[in-house]
Structure 1
Amino acid sequence: MTRIGGAVLAGLLAAGGLAAPAAAAGTGTVDGVFVDAGGAPVGEVWVEIFSADDGGWLTYASSGDDGRFQATGVPAGDVKVSFYRAGLTQWAPGKRVQEDAATYTVTDGATVTIDERGLPTGTIAGAVTAADGAPVADGLPVHAVETEHGDNLSTWTDENGRYALTVWTGTYRVGFGPESARQWAPRKTAEQDADTVTIVEGGTVEVDEQLLPTGTIRGRLTAADGSTGLPYIDVFLYRGTESIARNSTNEDGRYEFTVLPGDYAVSFRAETNGSEQFVPGAADLSKAEIHRVAAGQTVVADDSVVGPASVQGRLVDAAGRPQAGFQVFVNSTDDEYGYGDLTGADGSWRVTDVHPGDYRVSFHNPSWSRTQYAYGKTRSEDAQVFPVAGGATVTVDDTWLPGATLTVTAVDAATGAAVSRFCAQIEGAEQCTTNGTATVADLPAGRLGLAVVPESTGYHLRNDSTVTLTAGRTVTTTVRLATGGKVSFSSVDAATGRALRDTCFVLESLGSGGLPDGAGDCTNSQGRLTGGTLAPGTYEAFAFAPGTYGNQWVGATGGTGDQRAAARIVVVAGATVTAPAARLDRAGSITGVVTGADGAAIEDADVSFTAWSMGAGSSNSVSTDARGRYTIGKLGPYAWPLSVTAADHPRQWSGNVGDRFQAVHIPVTAGGTATHDIALTKGAALTGKVTLADGPPGRGWRLTAVNAVTGDQMAEFDSYSAGPDGAYRMPVIGDQQVKISWSVHSDDQPATTGWYDGATDQASATTVDIPATGDKTLDLTLG
């Protein structure tokens, strides 16, 4: 809309082609005066007002001869304002793009005055002649591309082959002709080879151009049987790997491109299948025909829509027995297309309407514990690639290779007595037992993660370990289950003592880190709950409150926002202990603005009362809006610390610290909203080099820095961002002590984990001092 001239847009409004929005319940006025770069008033400037929140168009005005404009009935709210004249649009105050424009707040009954000075401009003009020296026809496109900002301004030649284009001051390259045959002054075929011209305020630079000789690519696109043309479909012209122009067929399926001499490919997108097809009948550019066009030559490139293909096959085991109920996927090698089916009782499968291309075929057993690629491969990169031509039927029969089998028994870790009721979980498969033995068949070979989960009615703890399996063999393992304890919870209204249902509890230990994403088990209609089995130890309970109540750390006699003030709950083996009741108060909230180290508001910063996994996000957080504003609710009426995670800044707690227990705590009142603005700082950084110990290639890694006192995750770094030779730089808020955990992972093996320096757990990990500012260098060997 900002490219439409004032007279044209006014005509659209008058004709009903574009309706001005109805006045909102609260409206104001935007007025001002527009002057040129020299200070003279400018009339017929088209002024448009947009919502700053979603960019939607709101209303318009135009300036009179005195440069003054006035837009009434502007909906109350934040707006941005643009000015259009002489084919150019600028945004108040004096910006070229909407993203850089200032935000103005319109309030009910008030007037916002915006006086705007036009940015300085100049002119590019010239004459264009054909290859034979004659003036070009009326309407040849002319483009001026600004070299610094990338502004692309355009006009057309007149009946005499002349043009004049008003542009911002700056340096430009000038192009002539349609997309398919655009050349750049002086007579260059590539933009980067063109000369540049510099435009000064009020100046005019003449750029004349003689067109290079051209050729033509034309053709007719038809239905699969060749009898009917494909009308009004998109046709694309490629030079090298770049699509440089788009056209459409006429009612008879014919198209045409004027081109400079060179090599080209053509593709089209037929509505019958919606996919891109390259001439002739190719699924991708690598298989397209390359058309070499000389000056004055016409090359014909006809094509018909290729018919859909089919891929089918049969899956049997080594003895020839059909494998029924297996999921089959047929996926293109570029991940553009995918098809699926289930094998039938005889092991057969079939997918139809397959777009031509190159595909891999994979099979998944009914438990999804194992995947195999045709033919008989365990990795996608080793799979056979099947070319599928239009209209063809490709058959892919395969033999399901023998898998590994795991037999699991469990015993009490202290007494050695058999545990009869548990479930074994491995590779997505689960087998439960009541007689003490669980067998899981058809598993992949290798080192796999195994979880043994005892029934919830007892006190045994879940056990996580790894097992190494061999294809075609059975491995038997006995898992020792330790004994834990449980906690009984209750929840009441702090004022009335009434039992509250749907209060959900999570148990954490001091120093173990933030809260998990989501809540735990919840109280019943009597306000009571007995949680799952926990390892013996001392815990604090966090209550996620229902309805209008606020969350809390559960204290001995009431709630708190500080984990250190929470009641200590001692869990012992083989018993259920009772926690203090969660006495819930009405919720309050905290609101404010988050700004960066440069003082600018930060959009999409994550604000939370916890600091859980940085890679997973959290349901316990809110995001700042475009003006850096946040409001976080469901807080009990206590003092709370807040963590902020924002781009280009290290995670930090209110008060710019890394230790939650040293953070500024913001008091909250029941039903009230406290205000707390947060100005982030840059802090320091951990830097160094990561070296992987011996192991298979192609492994990724991750570093996580946790505060040494609270255990909260304060920084994270993934190997995909590493520099040469494993160089890393991980911003961390300064003046804190951290411990570093690491993990190394690959596609076909469970992750290996550890702590710096050579430790196996957080408690024994080496503490690293982070300076207030600057870099702390730490080279790490993982594995």
Structure 2
Amino acid sequence: MRSNVLGRTVTFAAVTATTLAASAVAVTLATTPAYAAGVGAITGHLTDASGNPAANAYVWTQQPDMSANASAYTAADGSYTLPNLPEGDYVVSFRAASGSFVQWSHQKATFMAADRIAVGAGATVVVDEQLLPTGTVQGRLLNRDGSPAQASVTVYLADIQSSVSYATVQADGTFSTELPAGSYKLDFRVRNAFDQWSGGQQSYDTATPIVVTAGQAVQVNETVLPTGSLGGRLTNTDGSPAGNVQVTANQPNVNGSWNSAYTDADGRYQFNDLLLGNYEVAFAGPNWVHQFAHGKIDPAQAERFAVTDGQLTTVDEVFLPTGTIRVIAHDATTGAPLSDFCAYTRSATTVGGCATGTELLINDVFVGSYPLDVYIYDNLHLTAIAGPAVVTAGQTVTVDVALRRGATITATITERAGGAAADGCVSVARLNDSFGYNPYGFCSDWSPGPVPGSVVVGPLEPGTYQLFVDPRSDALGMQWLGAAGGTGNREAALQFTLAAGDQVSAPKIRLDKAGTIQGKVTDAGTGAPLSYTCVWVAALSPGFGGGGDCPATAGTDGTYTISGVGPYSWPVEFARGNYQWRWSGNAINRRTATPVTVKVGKTATANIKLRTGGGTLKGIIRDASGQPVSASVVAYDVLSGEAVQFPGGITPEGQPPATYTIANIAPQQVKIFYRTEDGRSGWVGGADLAHATAYDVRNNRTLTVNIVIP
């Protein structure tokens, strides 16, 4: 199935004749009726799990951006037609007359896993569907005194937090919902005040899974958890009440614990019906910068306040005083003043703006020390980290920033066959530095060069670079730019060594016709398909998130397709949460991967069996004075400089702030990189990747590496 990101069709799961036959559905083309030029239609029949017509079911189409286009109800024989659809890719959604759940084409539980249906101009596509076999989840939610509770119920898949159904708790406390056979977690939104999860838990991660069997009813009875209250008074620096200020209270890393209120005219606020636990309290100050009780701007240093059963916890706060930051900038080489630059604080909540001349004033900034990001959109000057600006009460501090000149590469993209100009995006990989694929890169539509198809790449820091070219097309193939054309091997890619101020032109990029890579991802132990695995032909960025920034994702049957691949030999990476990241041939890094050879117009196969387990990195994050610091932590492979797992640094539930854990690392040597919420970054044990400390990660071992931020 396919979705468009920045104009490129990226593939999420393969739809083959085999998979369609296995699920008793079909997609065919009908010849009549004819539709107006530029539009087509989808028609078909919907049956229930037993094969009988499913009457009065709601059917609708959505495009990959989730916009709805057409809808209809099935007739008595289960038939439906969705006419006048503009040419493009669609997902067809089905909701039975009972209305309990939605399934997507074909027999998929989520929109992301759904098969995309291609509708051509003037064509009618037949999409027959059979409803999944279902069971029932039913039960009762009661208050602690035995009275019926007021709540709604949202049902999520147990293996990924994607909602699939919704129900309301009735006046007698009962609820019921019909669901396809599978495993689920229930979220009870109690009194519209807090979320309680199945098994009396406070988060999705800890919720008890509910297994639904076709044709059976499973009973789920719950009692509302105990609650308490939290409140206080907010005043300004001069002691006056701070009215109409947003206050939030939440338990860090506990889903659904975020609560919001506003202070009254006297500065008072109160939260009732809070689940028991430790809460951070934040107050939205000027520029919506949040101050955490007591007197902290960095959320990692926020105090936590215990809410206890039936009691009121008091948290009073005084706003910090404010001052002003004045920013001016000049060229580091000539000293000439610069105009129309932008500057933002490197803080948990950034504040700043862009100058309309040679000066920028950032007003109403809480007292404190603020590094600044300063940049200008001129394809010449590099972003600078300036300051810190030390803000004092009622005063203006001036920061004069010297912006260094970077280097640029101008590349022209063409089709090898015929030489026509082609659009595309270029990502850069810097030698001796970390690399992760950027799905956006420098693109010919927003960073154009002087001629059609050209793109300006930069400004770049001095160094040696390689170029990854993505034409955003299924017809033309991606490539690393090589010395004699495209290649799938980064080691063979052309290198550009740049000094400050260099403006160079790359050899003309000639795009070859494309081929395809497809395969299946399964669990090495059970053989079960692994949906939501991200698959790509270049190293993935550690922060791609496995969602919209993932170029190709395996569907619920574990299959994936990568289209638009250049006709070369490629390593293929597989990344999924709770599993070791691996490369084709089950390699632990790109350099040892088994290449997958792609030919024009052909499909190459790369299957893999992913393992759980591996090693774990963990530790605490502090500054030189011992204060906790919020930071994202990434482990990179020593040999390739590419990420080996999702970032750590989001504090695990119930653990102290400013800790990190990175689990499921394949056994290898790694180096550790951190980036704080205020933008500071660095390597552990060295100034760069080459000089950072290498750590051995071993199977079934936990390695503790504490990080001190200078």
- Structure-1-length-normalised TM-score: 0.51
1:329: which partner in 2? 246
2:578: which partner in 1? 648
1:544: which partner in 2? 470
Q: Which amino acid aligns with 1:623?
A: T
1:587: which partner in 2? 514
Q: How does 1:215-234 map to 2 (within 5 A)?
A: none
The answer (yes or no) to whether the contact 1:463–1:481 under 8 Å persists in 2 is: yes
The C-alpha deviation readout for 1:355-388, integer Å capped at 9, x for no partner, is: 98899895554x54x3469999979978999xxx
The C-alpha deviation readout for 1:229-262, integer Å capped at 9, x for no partner, is: xxxx9768xxxxxxxx976389xxxxxxxxxxxx
**Aligned partner (choices 524, 529, 543) of residue 597 of structure 1:** 524
In structure 2, do the counterparts of structure 1 residues 669 and 327 end up closer, same or farther at CA, with 3 Å as the change threshold? farther
Q: Which runs of 5+ in 1 are unaligned?
A: 1-22, 28-53, 62-72, 76-97, 99-150, 155-177, 182-189, 191-215, 219-232, 237-244, 251-268, 278-312, 386-397
The C-alpha deviation readout for 1:50-85, integer Å capped at 9, x for no partner, is: xxxx99734389xxxxxxxxxxx999xxxxxxxxxx
Q: How does 1:21-100 map to 2 (within 5 A)?
A: 57-59=49-51
Question: How much does 1:497 deviate?
Answer: 0.5
Q: How does 1:631-710 map to 2 (within 5 A)?
A: 631-681=561-611, 684-687=614-617, 690=620, 692=622, 694-695=624-625, 697-710=627-640
1:741: which partner in 2? 673
In structure 2, do the counterparts of structure 1 residues 475 and 497 end up closer, same or farther at CA, with 3 Å as the change threshold? same
For the residues of structure 2 that align with 1:647 and 1:624, how far apart are their CA atoms?
13
SS of the equivalent of 1:516 reads: coil
The C-alpha deviation readout for 1:706-765, integer Å capped at 9, x for no partner, is: 12232111134336349989795733223x4321223556xxxx26543232x2322321
SS of the equivalent of 1:710 reads: coil
In structure 2, do the counterparts of structure 1 residues 510 and 709 end up closer, same or farther at CA, with 3 Å as the change threshold? farther
The C-alpha deviation readout for 1:561-591, integer Å capped at 9, x for no partner, is: 1112222223332232101222112222111
For the residues of structure 1 that align with 2:477 and 2:674, how far apart are their CA atoms?
36
For the residues of structure 1 that align with 2:305 and 2:585, how far apart are their CA atoms?
58
In structure 2, do the counterparts of structure 1 residues 180 and 541 end up closer, same or farther at CA, with 3 Å as the change threshold? closer
2:426: which partner in 1? 505
2:329: which partner in 1? 410
The answer (yes or no) to whether the contact 1:555–1:580 under 8 Å persists in 2 is: no
Q: Note if 1:718 corresponds to 2:649.
A: yes
For the residues of structure 2 that align with 1:461 and 1:483, how far apart are their CA atoms?
6
Q: Which moved more, 1:716-725 or 1:675-684?
A: 716-725
Question: How much does 1:275 deviate?
Answer: 5.0
Question: How much does 1:556 deviate?
Answer: 3.0
In structure 2, do the counterparts of structure 1 residues 179 and 461 end up closer, same or farther at CA, with 3 Å as the change threshold? closer
In structure 2, do the counterparts of structure 1 residues 415 and 74 end up closer, same or farther at CA, with 3 Å as the change threshold? closer
1:248: which partner in 2? 171
The answer (yes or no) to whether the contact 2:322–2:391 under 8 Å persists in 1 is: no
Question: How much does 1:490 deviate?
Answer: 0.6
Q: How does 1:185-334 map to 2 (within 5 A)?
A: 248=171, 328-329=245-246
In structure 2, do the counterparts of structure 1 residues 327 and 612 end up closer, same or farther at CA, with 3 Å as the change threshold? farther
Q: Note if 1:531 corresponds to 2:463.
A: no
Q: Percent identity?
A: 27
SS of the equivalent of 2:689 reads: coil
SS of the equivalent of 2:640 reads: coil
The answer (yes or no) to whether the contact 2:282–2:290 under 8 Å persists in 1 is: no
The answer (yes or no) to whether the contact 2:534–2:550 under 8 Å persists in 1 is: no
Q: Which moved more, 1:559-568 or 1:326-335?
A: 326-335
For the residues of structure 1 that align with 2:653 and 2:261, how far apart are their CA atoms?
36
The answer (yes or no) to whether the contact 2:621–2:629 under 8 Å persists in 1 is: no
The answer (yes or no) to whether the contact 2:142–2:149 under 8 Å persists in 1 is: no
Q: How does 1:261-660 map to 2 (within 5 A)?
A: 328-329=245-246, 338=260, 362-365=283-286, 367-368=287-288, 370-371=289-290, 402-414=321-333, 416-426=335-345, 428-433=350-355, 436-456=358-378, 459-467=380-388, 468-500=390-422, 502-512=423-433, 513-522=435-444, 526-547=452-473, 548-601=475-528, 602-617=530-545, 619-660=549-590
Question: How much does 1:440 deviate?
Answer: 1.8
In structure 2, do the counterparts of structure 1 residues 464 and 246 end up closer, same or farther at CA, with 3 Å as the change threshold? closer
The answer (yes or no) to whether the contact 1:374–1:384 under 8 Å persists in 2 is: no
For the residues of structure 1 that align with 2:385 and 2:420, how far apart are their CA atoms?
40
For the residues of structure 1 that align with 2:248 and 2:613, how far apart are their CA atoms?
47
For the residues of structure 2 that align with 1:378 and 1:689, how far apart are their CA atoms?
23
SS of the equivalent of 2:552 reads: strand
2:90: which partner in 1? none
Question: How much does 1:437 deviate?
Answer: 3.3
Q: Which amino acid aligns with 1:507?
A: V
The C-alpha deviation readout for 1:134-193, integer Å capped at 9, x for no partner, is: xxxxxxxxxxxxxxxxx9999xxxxxxxxxxxxxxxxxxxxxxx9989xxxxxxxx9xxx
In structure 2, do the counterparts of structure 1 residues 666 and 402 end up closer, same or farther at CA, with 3 Å as the change threshold? same
Q: Note if 1:732 corresponds to 2:665.
A: yes
1:136: which partner in 2? none
The answer (yes or no) to whether the contact 1:738–1:769 under 8 Å persists in 2 is: yes
SS of the equivalent of 1:604 reads: coil
2:84: which partner in 1? none
In structure 2, do the counterparts of structure 1 residues 707 and 384 end up closer, same or farther at CA, with 3 Å as the change threshold? closer
The answer (yes or no) to whether the contact 2:649–2:660 under 8 Å persists in 1 is: no
For the residues of structure 2 that align with 1:743 and 1:573, how far apart are their CA atoms?
25
Q: Which amino acid aligns with 2:615?
A: A
The answer (yes or no) to whether the contact 1:406–1:439 under 8 Å persists in 2 is: yes
In structure 2, do the counterparts of structure 1 residues 536 and 332 end up closer, same or farther at CA, with 3 Å as the change threshold? closer
Question: How much does 1:632 deviate?
Answer: 1.6
Question: How much does 1:769 deviate?
Answer: 4.4
**RCO higher in structure (CA 8 A, sep ≥6):** 2
The answer (yes or no) to whether the contact 2:406–2:458 under 8 Å persists in 1 is: no
The answer (yes or no) to whether the contact 2:141–2:149 under 8 Å persists in 1 is: no
The answer (yes or no) to whether the contact 2:439–2:551 under 8 Å persists in 1 is: no
In structure 2, do the counterparts of structure 1 residues 404 and 383 end up closer, same or farther at CA, with 3 Å as the change threshold? farther
For the residues of structure 2 that align with 1:440 and 1:431, how far apart are their CA atoms?
7
The answer (yes or no) to whether the contact 1:599–1:679 under 8 Å persists in 2 is: no
For the residues of structure 2 that align with 1:235 and 1:780, how far apart are their CA atoms?
46
For the residues of structure 1 that align with 2:662 and 2:305, how far apart are their CA atoms?
40
The C-alpha deviation readout for 1:515-543, integer Å capped at 9, x for no partner, is: 12423221557212223311222211111
Q: Which runs of 5+ in 2 are unaligned?
A: 1-23, 29-45, 54-76, 80-108, 110-135, 152-167, 174-188, 195-232, 252-256, 307-316
For the residues of structure 1 that align with 2:353 and 2:394, how far apart are their CA atoms?
19
In structure 2, do the counterparts of structure 1 residues 55 and 731 end up closer, same or farther at CA, with 3 Å as the change threshold? farther
The answer (yes or no) to whether the contact 2:542–2:634 under 8 Å persists in 1 is: no
The C-alpha deviation readout for 1:182-234, integer Å capped at 9, x for no partner, is: xxxxxxxx9xxxxxxxxxxxxxxxxxxxxxxxxx999xxxxxxxxxxxxxx97
The answer (yes or no) to whether the contact 1:744–1:751 under 8 Å persists in 2 is: yes
The answer (yes or no) to whether the contact 2:540–2:573 under 8 Å persists in 1 is: no
SS of the equivalent of 1:714 reads: coil
Question: How much does 1:663 deviate?
Answer: 1.2
- Structure-2-length-normalised TM-score: 0.56
